[in-house]
Amino acid sequence: MKPRGGYNVPLGGRPGPEVEVLPDPDALHVPLAGRRLKFTDVRVRDGQAVRPGQVLAVDPERYDVPLLAPRAGRVTVTNKALVLRDLSQEQEEPYKGEQFDHAARAEAAGAAGAARRKLVDLGAWQFLRDAFSGQLPDPAGFPRAVVVTTMSYEPFSARGDVQVAKRLASFTRGLEHIQGLLEHQPIYLAVPAAKSELAEQVRRTVRGYAYVKVVTIPRRYPLDHPALIARRLGLRSRGGSIWSLGVAGVLAVDRAMTASLPSTVRIVAVGGPGVSRPTHVKVCAGWPIREILDACGAAGNVRVLMGGALTGEAWSPEDQPGLCGECTSLTVLRDEAPRKLFGWARPGWSRQSFSPHYVSRLRPSFTERLGTALGGERRACVSCQLCERACPAGIWPHLIHKHLLRGNVERAAALRLDLCVECGLCSYVCPSKIELLDQFRAGRKAIAGMAAEQDGQTREHARKEARQ
């Protein structure tokens, strides 16, 4: 598949390459549920003192992936979060995984199995996801390939170059450890199509690794999505999982395998037009989001997104005061929709658009202080095909939308809604302001439900036949 579609949203406030270390907070509010993981099995008591790296809770439905204590402190258990107070100021020795019996596991699952379990126990496995489904891969299974992405094009995710800049040796060692988990499967290292010193250094370093194949990806959101990279490589979702992970994941693997240390530190990008000092910060799960925002100069009427501008969800201080461990960025937008007289009919010298209706097309690209304005009124689809042009997955969002609008999920599935990577570009460019991303998420869920039901029926049928 050739790279197609995609668009770089001209959002201002891109975080710089520096990483700031913030002063320690008074308390950490570690959420028990993230986008993928739900830590329902809490393993600590109210008031218990914990050490860094100690298991606070696990996700029993996803291979017992643990939620590790980011710092030493005393736990208060609430419905939605574990609150760590009385945080120890001294750097206490973290758990090195001695809470798990690796020897017994090695005996049960072999050396590779034990190594994978170690990754799960030390919080590195959470960085892996299946390239197509986005779900956590099974630690017991083997992938068909591994896709390592070193870039993130969504405005604004934590940039790979920022994370790898000072830790290139750890990164390459992490790749070696990943290779050690595999049999003979290739590792595809996706690098941006850009001439930078760092990119060249990465290429030079991995040149000697026969199992690492470098893939160059054009610099356009969301062509860095693992599913699109996998499709480009001719890989399919059927016939086995394809693991994907980013730079943070590789570094976490190295930390776990080389030093047996848990991965609790996160580098989070804080950017967008709503902050005065866009930057990267070094924090951990549960860090009070308000403190991060204050440190970066977010003031006034702003909307904070957990995640990038296109796929992030709005943050509500009451629901989730602390940072989720899966969150890699905070995007801050100005929560405003200015109304200008005949705003829709102005030439648009300072407005950029995916469509060529604005005279800013005559200017070189520039960034904008985009807010949360919808930019128009909701209308019926006029079949302008802008979504089709923007779609990186090569599907026809306008046609799928029309079928989903009529409740025809089967037809939407036949039109390959499964290929959608939920990048949100179709919703972004739609002049009729149709919530395509929302509709497609619901549609994909319905299709998955139908498939599970069908699978269950088939299994039931097979069981009945076997009984006869």
Partner 1 sequence: MSLLLGLMGRIGPKFNRGNLRALRPAFDAIDSFLFCAGHRTDRAPHVRDPNNVKRYTLAVVAALLPIIAAAVYFFGWRIVAMIGVTYVTGLAIELGFAMFRKEALGEGLLVTSLLYPLILPPQLPFWMTAAGIAFGVVVGKELFGGTGRNFLNPALAGRCFLQIGLHADWSSLLFGTASASGVSGGCAGEVCSVLIILAGVFLVLAGVVNWRTILSLLGSFAILAGVAAWASPEAFGRPGWTPPAVAAWHLQAGGLLFGAVFLAADPATSPVSNLGKWIYGVTIGASTFLIRYLSGCVEGVMFAILLGNVAAPLCDKIATHVHLRKLRYEG
CB of 46 to partner 1, least distance (A): 35
Which amino acid makes up residue 280? Answer: H
Choice from 351, 408, 446, 447 touching partner 1 (CB under 8 A):
351
CB of 235 to partner 1, least distance (A): 9
Choice from 56, 145, 146, 227 touching partner 1 (CB under 8 A):
227
Binders in 85-144 for partner 1, by CB under 8 A: 132
Binders in 391-430 for partner 1, by CB under 8 A: 394-396, 398-399, 414-416, 418-419, 424-425, 427-430
N-to-C CA span, the chain: 46
Nearer residue to partner 1 within complex by CB, 205 or 353:
353
Choice from 14, 35, 363, 378 touching partner 1 (CB under 8 A):
378
Nearer residue to partner 1 within complex by CB, 45 or 339:
339
CB of 22 to partner 1, least distance (A): 25
DSSP state of 281: E
The burial class, CB within 10 Å (0-12 / 13-18 / 19+), for 263 is buried
Decide if residue 357 touches partner 1 (CB under 8 A): yes
State whether residue 365 is helix, strand or coil: coil
Nearer residue to partner 1 within complex by CB, 64 or 418:
418
Q: Which residues contact 83 (CB under 8 A, 6 or more apart)?
A: 27, 28, 29, 30, 75, 76, 77
Assess contact for 99 and 111: CB atoms under 8 A. Answer: no
Decide if residue 226 touches partner 1 (CB under 8 A): no
Binders in 19-38 for partner 1, by CB under 8 A: none
The burial class, CB within 10 Å (0-12 / 13-18 / 19+), for 295 is middle
Q: Show the binding pattern over residues 317-346: x = contacts partner 1 (CB under 8 A), - = does not.
A: ----------------x-xxxxxxxxxxx-
CB of 140 to partner 1, least distance (A): 25
User: CA angle, corner 325, sides to 319 and 328, nearest 5?
Assistant: 100
CB of 236 to partner 1, least distance (A): 6
Decide if residue 371 touches partner 1 (CB under 8 A): yes
Choice from 8, 48, 353, 367 touching partner 1 (CB under 8 A):
353
Nearer residue to partner 1 within complex by CB, 210 or 345:
345
Run of H or E including 243: strand 242-246
Q: Which residues contact 72 (CB under 8 A, 6 or more apart)?
A: 49, 50, 51, 52, 87, 88, 92
Binders in 172-191 for partner 1, by CB under 8 A: none
Assess contact for 323 and 289: CB atoms under 8 A. Answer: yes
Nearer residue to partner 1 within complex by CB, 233 or 446:
233
Binders in 230-249 for partner 1, by CB under 8 A: 231, 236-237
The span from the CA of 306 to the CA of 311, in Å, is 9
| 171: Cα separation from own chain's centroid | 19
Q: Applying CB under 8 A, what is the total number of residues that bind partner 1?
A: 76
Nearer residue to partner 1 within complex by CB, 263 or 311:
311
Q: Which residues contact 377 (CB under 8 A, 6 or more apart)?
A: 433
The span from the CA of 265 to the CA of 106, in Å, is 27
CB of 303 to partner 1, least distance (A): 6
Q: Show the binding pattern over residues 281-320: x = contacts partner 1 (CB under 8 A), - = does not.
A: ----------------------x-x---xxxxxx------
Q: Name the one range near partner 1 by CB under 8 A: 36-44, 141-149, 319-327, 367-375.
A: 367-375
Q: How many CB atoms lie within 10 A of CB 232?
A: 17
Q: Which residues contact 213 (CB under 8 A, 6 or more apart)?
A: 186, 187, 188, 189
